[in-house]
Amino acid sequence: MRDLIGSTDLDAAYAVQRRVTDERIRRGARLVGRKIGLTSEAVQRQMGVSQPDLGVLFEDMWFNGGDMIPWAAVLQPRAEAEIAFRLGADLAEGVLDMAQVRAAVEYAVVAIEVCGSRIQDWDISFADTVADNASSGVFVLGPLHRSLDSFEPREATMSMTATGQEPSSGHGSACLGDPLRAVQWLARTARDLGDPLCAGQLVLSGALGPMLDVVPGARVTAEVAGLGRVVATFGEKEER
C-alpha cells in the first residue's frame, strides 16, 4: 500500500482499513471488537515502528483455547501473548480517563493473537500494517475470566512458548506502561475516527513481549500470571 499512499499517511491508511471493514460487514461478517497493535517496545523494534495502531476483530477470527487453527487461516503467522478485555460499558462519551476505562471493563482474559501480513516477508511500513487491519489474523481466548477487582494488568507477568522458537517473556508494563492505558488510547483514537468502543466488545490490548514465528503443526502456549494459560494449535500445511 505504501506505493499508493506513502508510508506515513495514517488518514489514508485508516481509510483503506475502513473500506475493507465496511465491505466485510456488507458481506455478512460480524464485528466483535478491536485490537491494539504495536504497543510493546520489543515488537516495535521487531517491526521498525514507534507508535501503536488499531484494527477490528471479526467473529470468524475468534478461537477458544484448544481449538485447531487451520494453517491457511493466517498468512505468515506470528504469535503474541496478550491480555484481552471485555467491555461492560460504552467508551464513547466523557473524558475517557483511566478511571472511566477501568470501570468499563467487565473482565480480563489471557489471549494469543496470531498476527499475519499480506505483505511478503513482513516488509511493512506503518501505513501498510494499518491498511492491512493492523496485521490482524486470528485470536485465541483462555477459559478464565477475572474482574479488575482481583487482577491488576500492569503487574502481570507473561511467558509464551511456540514449537521451534525460543521462549518469549514479558510484563504488563511492557504494553504502553499498562494494558489499560492501551485501552484508553484505543478508546480515544476510535472515537476520534468516528467509531467508538461499545459495551460487549472485546479488546486485545497488545503484546506483553516479543512475538514468535509459527510453523505448520505448531503448539503455542501463553501464560499470564493471574489469568492462567491458553493453548493454540495449528494444522499442518496442505500440499498443493
Q: Could you list the residue range(s) of the whole structural domain that residue 115 is in?
A: 2-234
Please check whether residue 40 lies inside any domain of the structure. Answer: yes
Quickly count: other Cβ atoms within 10 Å of residue 92's Cβ. Answer: 15
pLDDT value, residue 196:
96
Please check whether residue 215 lies inside any domain of the structure. Answer: yes
Please check whether residue 112 lies inside any domain of the structure. Answer: yes
End-to-end CA distance of the chain: 28
φ/ψ of residue 84, rounded to 5: -100, 150
Q: What is the pLDDT of residues 136-186, one digit of tens each?
A: 999 999 999 999 999 999 999 999 999 989 999 999 999 999 999 999 999
Is residue 240 scored above 60 in pLDDT?
Answer: no
Q: What is the pLDDT of residues 218-235, one digit of tens each?
A: 999 999 999 999 999 999
Quickly count: other Cβ atoms within 10 Å of residue 155's Cβ. Answer: 12
**3-state DSSP call for residue 137?**
coil
Look at residues 189, 38, 23, 21 and name the one whose alpha carbon lies nearest to residue 125.
38
Here the CATH number for the domain that contains residue 75 is: 3.90.850.10
Q: What is the pLDDT of residues 34-79, one digit of tens each?
A: 999 888 776 677 666 677 899 999 999 999 999 999 999 999 999 9
Please check whether residue 239 lies inside any domain of the structure. Answer: no
Total number of domains constituting the chain: 1
Please check whether residue 155 lies inside any domain of the structure. Answer: yes
Interatomic CA distance for residues 112 and 230, integer angstroms: 7
Please check whether residue 240 lies inside any domain of the structure. Answer: no
Is residue 199 scored above 90 in pLDDT?
Answer: yes
